[in-house]
Structure 1
Amino acid sequence: MRHFILFIAVIFLGLFLAVLNRTEQGKVIGGQPTLRVFGYSSFTGRWGPGPLLKEAFEKNCKCKVEFIEGSDSGILLQRLRIEGESLGADLVVGLDQFDLSKAMDEQKWRSLSLGKLDVYETVKPALSNNFFVPYDWGALTFVARRGELNHVPVTLDDLLSSELSKKIALQDPRTSSPGMQFLYWVVRSKGEEEGFKFLEKMMGQVHSFSPTWSTAYGLFTNKQAKIAYSYVTSPLYHEIEEKKKDYFAISFTEPLPVQFEFVGIPEFCRHCDLAEQFVNLMLSNEGQKIIMEKNYMLPVMKGVRENSVFANLPPMKTMDKFEILSTTEVDRLLKRWTEIRRGELN
């Protein structure tokens, strides 16, 4: 009899834990499902587009939206691999083109059925697979303050001037998407061998290699660095949000790299239909306007940038080739960069 009672107790305990686990996994509270969105901090944070997209989505979805944060896209991908399924990630926002191969190697993704998208010509090459869709884009360059530089750099080699020694804020390419963009820019502009010789010289010019874009840009805004690697749209942020017009994006002779940011739905999603609805919101006129004005990136959909302050950005020459590097290629470039960095520190 005692064994029977113990058996029944174990069965009930198992059923209780299964129900508890299902409730936690599905995150259904008060009859409403919770859509869990993995995103980087400047997207999900108070001043980013995340809160406004969440508000707009919750008006009609009969659900709740919960953000799970990673400080930068590189760190976001690591967190997704380690705990994405256990935390119940339904949607991943903020991977760029250098993250996609690794993301597809490490996870399975749902195919997106979004129909024909009316995007800008610049964006069309980024619509190269059925698992990820770009929701914004932007060119990267160095940003400076007016009056602080005796000689504004116009080529990559100008970054080696004595005036900029220890005064350049850069990101670590191993953890930061802009950091990887800079590495890619140098290698594609100079060729790999000459590019890494240049990067070796650059080590002495850099104030520090920050793990995220926000940390590096903070060094610049706090005047610990004279220039920072950032987005062509960054001066617009200072002008609109801070009423400051002393920031400017530097135009280089070398065509600038372009970063595309993507959204995707993991195959292990629990509220997959809601995730696709959220993607549709991000690509709608309302969503694109929110992303443009809060993320300070350019919209992918036509008709949003026009008649806005973003239409008046100074033209800059950008790379015309879109590449999704293989995981092997990204790892190889990062290994070479790490060896140079380790040599500098030793």
Structure 2
Amino acid sequence: MKHFIFFITVVFVGLFLALLNRNEKGFNSGSVTTLRVFGYASFTGRWGAGPLLKEHFEKTCKCKVEFIEGSDSGILLQRLKIEGESLGADLVVGLDQFDLSKAVSEQSWRKLNIGDMPVYDSVKPALSNSFFVPYDWGALTFVARRNDAGRHPSKLDDLLDPVYAKQIALQDPRTSSPGMQFLYWVIRSKGEDAGFEFLKKMMNQAHSFSPTWSTAYGLFTNKQASLVYSYVTSPLYHLVEDKDKNFVALPFVEPSPVQFEFVGIPEFCRHCDLAEQFVNLMLSPEGQKIIMEKNYMFPVMKGVMEGTPFESAMTVKTMDEVEMLSTSEVDRLLKRWTEIRRGEVN
């Protein structure tokens, strides 16, 4: 009987200690602050800049960083509008200049006190909004394979050549930032009415209008399309990562548009101070180098790309002006594009 009582006592004490240890672990893990960063897939994904920034940040912040993935940068605002505060985002990464007006009209944001930044002169016009700060930028054009037979296009009208029928991978401007950049490029280069006439003809040239940049680029790399609308740094990616020299960014007569990517802190942030610290990391020389080498975009800070392959990657002439379109203007252009896409315009 004594042995039985002793056995029961040992079992009870063991269970009690195990439960205590479990609760202690749960309490400790629950007490770790978690910074939630909402961004598009190529930033937050395994090969993007996000994971490496997270690793560096967690070394000093005494916190955890958790990513919320938004597929493509063009979808970020849609999810943010639908889910709002329930999304739990402390930081939003990846809006471009065409998103800012809508972002301010649909959400409240904290002002960012970033002070004087040693940015390139071309970046300064993108610093005009006190709620968002650019962390990288890129120029867009068409990317082709060097060994493809025939002459590569050198102006927009060349894209209408029958040889490119169903051979151009484009993005949907309603969901994709590069897609909106292409729409803007055509309108700025040709004027609105002539531009939409051109876009109507492009409907037959497009292999598809993918919802995201990555989907469109995958069609191109899988050789389902001859051309893809992408970044001038895309060939650099293949050269560095794959040792493949077969890709080229095409210079066009029409100056290429420039996309800036911004970061902002929503007013409903739970860990706002940590969010500001993460922004500071993104803008530091170390963070800028990570973003440049992982996103394959140009840094906004001086002194980061000097002496790197990125210094010679700009192979196209770009637009001089950085235009921030209003929400109503973006919506109006998208409405006209949608009508053409649906065949509602004769």
Q: Give the alignment's TM-score, normalised by structure 1.
A: 0.91
Structure 2 CA distance, aligned partners of 1:151 and 1:263?
Answer: 40
Q: Which amino acid aligns with 1:190?
A: K
Structure 1 CA distance, aligned partners of 2:292 and 2:149?
Answer: 30
Structure 2 CA distance, aligned partners of 1:167 and 1:129?
Answer: 39
Corresponding residue number in structure 2 for 1:316: 316
Q: CA deviation at 1:331?
A: 0.3
Corresponding residue number in structure 2 for 1:304: 304
Structure 2 CA distance, aligned partners of 1:309 and 1:29?
Answer: 42
Q: How does 1:131-146 map to 2 (within 5 A)?
A: 131-146=131-146
1:209 aligned onto 2:209:
yes
Structure 1 CA distance, aligned partners of 2:87 and 2:198?
Answer: 42
Corresponding residue number in structure 2 for 1:111: 111
Q: CA deviation at 1:64?
A: 0.4
Q: Relative to structure 2, which stretch is displaced further, 130-139 or 28-37?
A: 28-37
Corresponding residue number in structure 2 for 1:71: 71
Q: How does 1:1-346 map to 2 (within 5 A)?
A: 29-343=29-343
Corresponding residue number in structure 2 for 1:21: none
Q: Which amino acid aligns with 1:245?
A: K
Q: Which amino acid aligns with 1:188?
A: R
Shift in alpha-carbon separation, 1:345–1:53, aligned structure 2, 3 A: farther
Q: Relative to structure 2, which stretch is displaced further, 207-216 or 313-322?
A: 313-322
Structure 1 CA distance, aligned partners of 2:151 and 2:141?
Answer: 16
Q: Which amino acid aligns with 1:301?
A: M
SS at 2:302 equivalent = coil
Shift in alpha-carbon separation, 1:259–1:314, aligned structure 2, 3 A: closer
Structure 1 CA distance, aligned partners of 2:247 and 2:334?
Answer: 31
SS at 1:122 equivalent = helix
Q: What is the root-mean-square deviation in Å for CA atoms of aligned residues?
A: 1.5
Contact persistence 2:220–2:228 (CA under 8 A): yes
Structure 2 CA distance, aligned partners of 1:141 and 1:239?
Answer: 18
Corresponding residue number in structure 1 for 2:15: none
Q: Which amino acid aligns with 1:193?
A: D
Q: CA deviation at 1:29?
A: 3.9
Corresponding residue number in structure 2 for 1:20: none
Corresponding residue number in structure 1 for 2:12: none
SS at 2:121 equivalent = coil
Contact persistence 1:132–1:262 (CA under 8 A): yes
Structure 2 CA distance, aligned partners of 1:28 and 1:238?
Answer: 44
Structure 1 CA distance, aligned partners of 2:211 and 2:301?
Answer: 31
Structure 2 CA distance, aligned partners of 1:258 and 1:123?
Answer: 10
Structure 1 CA distance, aligned partners of 2:72 and 2:295?
Answer: 14
Contact persistence 2:339–2:345 (CA under 8 A): no
Alignment gaps of 5+ in structure 2: 1-26
Corresponding residue number in structure 2 for 1:3: none
Contact persistence 2:250–2:316 (CA under 8 A): no
Q: Relative to structure 2, which stretch is displaced further, 205-214 or 145-154?
A: 145-154
Q: CA deviation at 1:250?
A: 0.2
Q: CA deviation at 1:275?
A: 0.2
SS at 2:136 equivalent = strand
Contact persistence 2:144–2:249 (CA under 8 A): yes
Structure 1 CA distance, aligned partners of 2:311 and 2:28?
Answer: 43
Deviations, residues 4-63 of structure 1 (Å, cap 9, x unaligned) = xxxxxxxxxxxxxxxxxxxxxxx9944221000000000000000000000000000000
Q: Relative to structure 2, which stretch is displaced further, 305-314 or 325-334?
A: 305-314
Q: CA deviation at 1:128?
A: 0.6
Contact persistence 2:232–2:315 (CA under 8 A): no
Q: Which amino acid aligns with 1:271?
A: H
Corresponding residue number in structure 2 for 1:9: none
Contact persistence 1:203–1:344 (CA under 8 A): no
Deviations, residues 194-222 of structure 1 (Å, cap 9, x unaligned) = 00000000000000000000000000000
Structure 1 CA distance, aligned partners of 2:87 and 2:159?
Answer: 43
Structure 2 CA distance, aligned partners of 1:84 and 1:217?
Answer: 30
Deviations, residues 225-275 of structure 1 (Å, cap 9, x unaligned) = 000000000000001111100000000000000000000000000000000
Q: CA deviation at 1:129?
A: 1.2
SS at 1:302 equivalent = coil
Structure 2 CA distance, aligned partners of 1:315 and 1:221?
Answer: 21
Shift in alpha-carbon separation, 1:314–1:97, aligned structure 2, 3 A: closer
Q: Which amino acid aligns with 2:128?
A: S
Look at both structures and tell me which one has the larger radius of gyration over its CA atoms: 2
SS at 2:194 equivalent = helix
Structure 2 CA distance, aligned partners of 1:312 and 1:194?
Answer: 34
- Percent identity of equivalent pairs: 77
Structure 2 CA distance, aligned partners of 1:29 and 1:131?
Answer: 33
